[in-house]
A and B are shown apart, each in its own frame.
Chain A
Amino acid sequence: MALRTLFTKKSLALASAFRPIAVASAAGDQRLGSGLSQTRGLTVAALPDLPYDYGALEPAISGEIMRLHHQKHHQAYVTNYNNALEQLEAAIAKGDATAVVRLQNAIKFNGGGHVNHSIFWKNLKPVNEGGGEPPHSSLGWAIDTDFGSLEALVQKMNAEGAALQGSGWVWLALDKGFKKLTVETTANQDPLVTKGANLVPLLGIDVWEHAYYLQYKNVRPDYLKNIWKVIDWKYASEVYEKETA
């Protein structure tokens, strides 16, 4: 498994985060070998591969953190999300409304964790592949218009990220309706859309302690200062241009 992640260079396609899996229904398990009988399709989440090595973001983010973050934390969100989805499907089939509602928290938390981290891996890039290079063209102009300068934006995001109590994320968001950039924070694993249906995430920074504690201890501001060196502005620009086309 380590070898796979070490040599994976394929860039992440959005679709690769999900793949269809056949789920054998409880009643039809006797004939598992024959394949397609009595199966219903449930699209479950899969842990996306990183397009860079775990150690490639050093010294901004240590390889140990990247490995734990990806293999343990993100994987746990994926696993628990899939479990919750299967339970939800069963509850819907049975018409068990109480169970359906009860599962919403687990789906929001684990599903949100999967969504947020999938975006996060794409927001990061090793320095020698363009990480940290400031944005140009339309996103660069939008940042200057809406925040004054890139430094002002960075300072704002760092301030909001440091001030966030507990666990959460700080986002550079595009408001599709007003065509404006904003800085938002979300708590725990709430995805950005919980702050506004028109918000598209361009950049997200994980400020959960597991994202930095091993390396920066409790000094979250240092983590926020250094992560900009590996932020992939090219990806953010692509998303921005696609949404404002």
Chain B
Amino acid sequence: MAMALPLAYASSVVHPFEAGRLSFSTKATKHKKQIYQFRKVTKVLAYYGLTNPPYKLDALEPYMSRRTLELHWGNIHRGYVDSLNKQLANSPLYGCTMEELIKTTFNNGNPLPEYNNAAEVWNHDFFWESMQPNGGRLPWGGVLDQIEKDFGSFSNFRDEFVHSAMMLFGSGWVWLVLKTNERRLSIVRTSNALCPLVWGDIPIISLDMWEHAYYLDYKDDVSKYVNNFMDHLISWHSATARMVRTEAFVNLGEPKIPVA
């Protein structure tokens, strides 16, 4: 095909949080009408690219080896992206941001076939950005205040997070999310590819508990993996940036109404 495929928004750009808006369908049908007006039918596809983690693949050593990242990002994450693009080649879903795609394909609990791939692509992007070299230790400022408010203390939060990860049966993820309805931070555990975005919650940090995330480095020693993540990998910088963004959509305290 000579024409360039219009690129859907790259998955690293986070667009404003809009709950349940399904305007993609009108965009797609309008676009389809325009297509059929051409004499030659050209195919318009949605296409998502694989974004790089924001650090070199060996930057997380010794807590997550380069080999793990080569396989986890290079093969598994890339595999999800390729599978998703293959599915989208025959699908009317077009013009969605990754978040919109996930919510649409989740289909209120009856997931469409594209859901698994879309969610896993997003989940892994989010996971790479939830980690950083020289990470771990303590959060600061607003994030620390909110954690202390919602969990009592940072060590309570840490214990609960580790406990939740250890209690996961099977494959899944552990999340620190901001619950939009309750307006507080909470720890959530999901299975397989499930992502808290589908419930309208806003993820702040995630930890991949699929065995492929740690098996090469830690074999069956899950506790060491989770503790190393908490102590050395978790990126409170990313968490802070995400919290700042969420405050545009969720009021965490009383709104400061200026007095005239």
Whether A165 touches B211, Cβ cut-off 8 Å, given contacts A72-B219, A188-B169, is: no
What chain A residues lie within 8 Å of B109 (beta carbons)?
none
Asked whether, in the complex, the Cβ of B191 is within 8 Å of the Cβ of A105, the reply is: no
Interface residues on B, range: 10 to 19
| Contacting pair A217 B220 (CB below 8 A) | no
A72 to B215, CA, bound (A): 13
Contact status B220-A210, CB under 8 Å: yes
Tell me, yes or no, whether A209 is within 8 Å of chain B by CB: yes
Residue total for A at the interface (Cβ-Cβ under 8 A): 20
Beta-carbon contact of A214 and B216 below 8 Å: yes
- Known contacts A72-B219, A76-B220, A218-B79, A213 near B169 by CB under 8 Å: no
CB pair A217 B75 closer than 8 Å? yes
User: Pick the contact of B170 from A68, A187, A217 — CB < 8 Å?
Assistant: A187
Q: Are A218 and B212 in contact (CB under 8 A)?
A: yes
The answer to whether A166 and B79 touch across the interface, beta carbons within 8 angstroms, is: no
Smallest CB gap from B170: residue in A: A188
Minimum CB distance partner of B191 in chain A: A166
Please name the residue on chain B nearest to A64 by beta carbon.
Answer: B219
Contact pattern, B 35-73, Cβ under 8 Å of A = 1, otherwise 0:
000000000000000000000000000000000000100
Q: Are A209 and B169 in contact (CB under 8 A)?
A: no
- A73 touches which one: B75, B170, B220 (CB < 8 A)? B220
Contact B170 A213 (CB under 8 A): no
* Contacting residue for A213 out of B79, B192, B193, B215, CB 8 A: B215
Taking the complex as formed, is A235 at the interface, i.e. its CB lies under 8 A from any CB of chain B? Answer: no
Query: Cβ of B220 and Cβ of A167 under 8 Å apart?
Result: no
Q: How far is the CA of A73 from the CA of B211 in the complex (A)?
A: 12
Whether A165 touches B116, Cβ cut-off 8 Å, given contacts A109-B169, A188-B169, A218-B76, is yes
Q: Is A189 an interface residue (CB 8 A)?
A: yes
> Is A218's CB under 8 angstroms from B71's CB?
yes
Q: Let me know if B154 is at the binding interface, CB within 8 A.
A: no
- Taken together as a complex, chains A and B put the C-alpha atoms of A214 and B212 apart, in Å, by 9
Bound Cα distance from A208 to B169, whole angstroms: 11
Find chain A residues with CB under 8 A from B75 CB: 217-218
* Contact assessment for A166 and B212 in the assembled complex, using a CB-CB cutoff below 8 Å: no
Q: What is the bound-complex CA distance between A166 and B212, given in angstroms?
A: 10
Let me know if B116 and A213 touch, CB within 8 A: no
* Residue in B191, B192, B212 whose CB lies within 8 Å of A209: B212
- Asked whether any CB of chain A lies closer than 8 Å to the CB of B210, the reply is yes
Given contacts A167-B171, A218-B76, contact A209 B220 (CB under 8 A): no
Q: C-beta contact mask, A184-227 vs B, less than 8 Å → 1, else 0? A: 00011100000000000000000011100110011000000000
Known: A165-B192, A217-B71, A218-B71. A105 touches B219 (CB 8 A): no
A residues less than 8 Å from B216 (CB atoms):
213-214
Which of A68, A166, A210, A218 neighbours the largest number of chain B CB atoms within 10 Å of its CB?
A166
- Give the complex CA separation of A238 and B71 in angstroms: 41
Closest CB of chain B to A117's CB: distance in Å? 13
Question: Which of B79, B116, B170, B219 is A167 in contact with, Cβ under 8 Å?
Answer: B170
Mark out the residues of chain A between 124 and 173 whose CB falls within 8 Å of any chain B CB in the assembled complex.
165-168
Given contacts A166-B170, A187-B170, A189-B169, contact A214 B220 (CB under 8 A): no
A73 and B219 alpha carbons, distance in the complex (Å):
10
Q: Which 7 A-B pairs have the closest CB atoms?
A: A209-B211, A188-B170, A166-B171, A166-B192, A72-B220, A109-B169, A167-B170
Q: Told that A72-B220, A210-B220 touch, could you supply 5 new A-B pairs with CB distance under 8 A?
A: A109-B169, A167-B171, A167-B211, A209-B210, A218-B71
Binding site for A on B (CB under 8 A): 71, 75-76, 79, 116, 169-172, 191-193, 210-212, 215-216, 219-220
Q: Can you report 27 residue pairs joining A to B where beta carbons are below 8 Å apart?
A: A68-B219, A68-B220, A76-B220, A105-B169, A109-B169, A109-B170, A165-B116, A165-B193, A166-B172, A166-B192, A166-B193, A166-B210, A167-B170, A167-B171, A167-B211, A188-B169, A209-B171, A209-B212, A210-B211, A210-B215, A210-B220, A213-B211, A213-B216, A214-B216, A217-B75, A218-B71, A218-B76
